[in-house]
Amino acid sequence: MPLLAPTRPVQAFLLLSTCLPDHEYLDRPNTNNCMLRFTAVLRRQQFLIRALSGEAHSRGATEIKVMAEGNLEADAVSILRRITPLLDPNRNKGQAGKIAVIGGCREYTGAPYFAAISALKIGADLSHVFCTKDAAMVIKSYSPELIVHPILEESYSVRDEDKGFISSKTVAEVAKWIERFDCLVIGPGLGRDPFLLDCVGEILKLARRSNIPVVIDGDGLFLVTNNLDLVSGYALAVLTPNVNEYKRLVQKVLDSEVNDQDASEQLLSLAKSIGGITILRKGKSDLISDGRTVHVVSSFGSPRRCGGQGDILSGSVAVFSSWARQVQTTAEEDATFSTSNPMVLGCIAASALLRKAAFVAFESNKRSTLTTDIIEHLGRSLEDISPAC
C-alpha cells in the first residue's frame, strides 16, 4: 500500500540515512552500482519510516502515492530494458517509431534539430521537422537524415487578410501526415510569434482529435500555459517544463508559488488539476507525475548545463513513450506494464538515458561538453543498458 508523506522528524532521519556510509557504492558510478545505491537508501528509509511512523497505510480510497522522496526513485534501468525493443530483421521501416517535431523559426534552428536527431540516435526509424520556411534550409543542412517540411509561417510574412487561409492551409498540410506519426514534439525552437502560435495551437487540437501523443516543450509550454484547454484532460500529453516554465505553470494553475519542500505533492496536485496529464519537472532530480503517482529520476547527470539538453529530452520522451505504448498492447500478462501509464514510463526512460549520456559526455569533455557531445553518447548509453540484439 502507498505510504503517507513522513512527518518532519522522520524527514530529518531520512536525510541522515542518505548520508550514512554505504559499502555498496563503487568508486566510479555505473548503471548497476547506481541501482544498488538507491536500493540501499530505500531499505534504510523504509526501516526508519516503519520505526518512527508505524506501518504504511493508505490515504482512504485514493490511488495516490505520496512518499518520502527517496522512496519515489524509479527503477529506470528495468523500465529501459522492458520497453526498448530488440532489433528484429522481420520488422519494417517505421515500426520502431515515427516522430515529428513542430518547431523551428528564424532565430531558433538548433532546438528542433536536437529533438529530431536525438529520436533517431535512440532508435526511431523516421524523424520529421515541421518548421518555418526561413528555418528549413538551415535545419536540412544539419543532417540529411531528417525529413523537413517548410510549411509554418510567421506574422511578418503573412498579410492580415490572408491569415485565416494560411492557417487552414498549414493545418491541412500537417493533417496529411499526422496519422503516420507515433508522437509529436511541439515547441522546440518555436518562438513566440502570435500567428505561428495560433497555427500550432490548431495543430495541437488536430493531434488530440487524432489521438496522437504529444510532448510539449520550450515555447510550446508558453502556448499551453496561456491556453490550458489545449491539453487539459488529454492523457497522451506530456509537459516537460524547466524551472522557470514550471514556476509559470504553478502560478497559473495552482495560483501559488513553487514549494520545493513538498515538491512531490505539489507536482501531483498540478498534474491532477490539469486533468491527469503527465508532467516531467526537470531539475537536479527529475520529478514525473500524472496526477496519480510521482516518480523521481536522480541517477547520473552532469554539472554542465549547456543549452539544448531539454530538446534531447523531449525527443527521447517521444520515442520511449511510443515504445512503451507498443509494449503495453502485448503485456497483458505483465500487470506492472499493462496498467502503467506509458507516457510516465517514457518520461522515466528518457530522463534516465539523458542523464547517463550527459554523465559519460562530461567525463570526456568536462567544461567543453556541448549538446552535440551528449547526443553522440545516446546510442552507446542505451546499448550498455539494453543491447540491441
Measure Cα distances from 256 to 66, 250, 253, 284 in Å.
20, 6, 8, 22
Place of cell 540515512: 17
Torsion of CA 134, 137, 138, 142, to 10 degrees: 160
Has 259 been labeled as part of a binding site? no
212: nearest Cα among 234, 188, 190 = 234
Opening angle at CA 18, ends 13 and 20, nearest 5: 90
Has 242 been labeled as part of a binding site? yes
Has 272 been labeled as part of a binding site? no
Has 311 been labeled as part of a binding site? yes
Has 30 been labeled as part of a binding site? no
Has 218 been labeled as part of a binding site? no
Has 95 been labeled as part of a binding site? no
Has 189 been labeled as part of a binding site? yes
Has 247 been labeled as part of a binding site? yes
Opening angle at CA 271, ends 270 and 273, nearest 5: 65
Query: Is residue 110 a contact partner of residue 189, using CB atoms and an 8 Å limit?
Result: yes
Distance, CA of 38 to CA of 54 (rounded, Å): 22
375: nearest Cα among 142, 79, 95 = 142
Distance, CA of 10 to CA of 53 (rounded, Å): 7
Has 299 been labeled as part of a binding site? no
Has 308 been labeled as part of a binding site? yes
Query: Is residue 343 a contact partner of residue 236, using CB atoms and an 8 Å limit?
Result: yes
Has 182 been labeled as part of a binding site? no
Has 231 been labeled as part of a binding site? no
Has 284 been labeled as part of a binding site? yes
Has 283 been labeled as part of a binding site? yes
Has 245 been labeled as part of a binding site? yes
Has 201 been labeled as part of a binding site? no
Distance, CA of 242 to CA of 259 (rounded, Å): 15
Has 344 been labeled as part of a binding site? no
Exposure class string for 282-317: b at 16+ Cβ within 10 A, else e: beebbbbbbbebbbbbbbbbbebebebbbbbbbbbb
Binding residues for ATP: 282-286, 301-310
As annotated, the binding site includes 189, 242-248, 282-286, 301-311
The binding site for (6S)-NADPHX comprises 189, 242-248, 311
